[in-house]
Structure 1
């Protein structure tokens, strides 16, 4: 979504309150499901052309670390094929197998928080909200795959829990171009701010 994009008559009723900026001293980056199941071409449910989103995510992780922010890594925590999520999706990323592991081009630090989730949202059934509040986090930056499913669900819950939410466009990948644009539009008009990678890195610098 671009700043010049026309808004529909419902979504153009935006608050006159100036948008929040990233609070560098109270920010966390939530990296959602950057795992082999979705990013490896041989994975169970691979997205297409994952290279650019991996590169953008790595740049965003580096910028967040340099700013002193928290980096939270989120990955699937499915334990068996009977997991309730698999009522709709094929079983994937189960246990500690290859599919559930963070992609090798991304390297979580041992001191950084790792969360395993069994539903789309990184908040549902996890201690993510508790962790963020314990570290006095105000600004939440979200990236990962798939933008229109797990990233979007995480954005919704972050907004509902009172955080200022920022999504970095190049560091997200949806299941298709239509879904990518539609999801960014909805986030920008209802749940948070959509930033370019350059803008996000500049704000963190």
Structure 2
């Protein structure tokens, strides 16, 4: 995709991942959004399992933390903000908010519960990352144009270097996927792919932005 005149005014340094500085953030790969019986299922989640598993395996082998983000909401709220715009979903302490079994999430890994689109908004994610001396984030999951994008925005605002592997994310449609990745690449981080991220972690190769200047 060619850049618009405004977005073309950018800096694009190459990124080198350091397992001691990096965390892998898996956003909302929960039953509610992926599995039959969920209230807001995104078709085709199966296509994400292979790419995401490759990232998760590489992170674990390198010693980089994997952080699982759960969209979970409390019943009985008078004005649940997400439900003001979206079908009521993701009741806490139910099957709906559990990470899909396909990805093999571990209980001894970090799990973050959020009640808004961003994994940073009024959660302890930022504090946790700072205590771990993490300043690089690989962010992926569903959906690109809502919760992934919101998390990426807040990560950038909080000073993190952000990498988004495009083939490990899915949006609500092709238009939304393309537009969100374009905006992330030109304003908030680096858009790459799973193969490049795994190579960067294992071999020290640089990650470059896939969205051409």
Which structure 2 residues correspond to residues 36-185 of structure 1 after superposition, within 5 A? Answer: 36-80=31-75, 82=77, 83-185=80-182
Rounded Cα–Cα distance in structure 1 between residues aligned with 2:122 and 2:7: 31
Q: TM-score, normalised by structure 2?
A: 0.91
Rounded Cα–Cα distance in structure 1 between residues aligned with 2:57 and 2:134: 18
In structure 1, list runs of 5 or more residues that go unmatched: none
SS for the counterpart of 2:138 is strand
Task: Compute the displacement of 1:59 (Å).
Answer: 1.2
In structure 2, list runs of 5 or more residues that go unmatched: 203-213
Alignment root-mean-square deviation, CA: 1.1
Rounded Cα–Cα distance in structure 2 between residues aligned with 1:41 and 1:155: 28
Deviations 1:13-35 (A, max 9, x none): 112x6233222221000000000
- Regions of 4+ moved over 6 Å: none
Task: Compute the displacement of 1:42 (Å).
Answer: 2.6
The number of residue pairs the alignment matches comes to 200
> 2:36 matched to 1:8?
no
> 2:14 matched to 1:19?
yes
Task: Compute the displacement of 1:56 (Å).
Answer: 1.2
Q: TM-score, normalised by structure 1?
A: 0.94
Rounded Cα–Cα distance in structure 1 between residues aligned with 2:76 and 2:3: 42
Q: Is the 8 A contact 1:23 1:138 kept in 2?
A: no
Task: Compute the displacement of 1:81 (Å).
Answer: 5.4
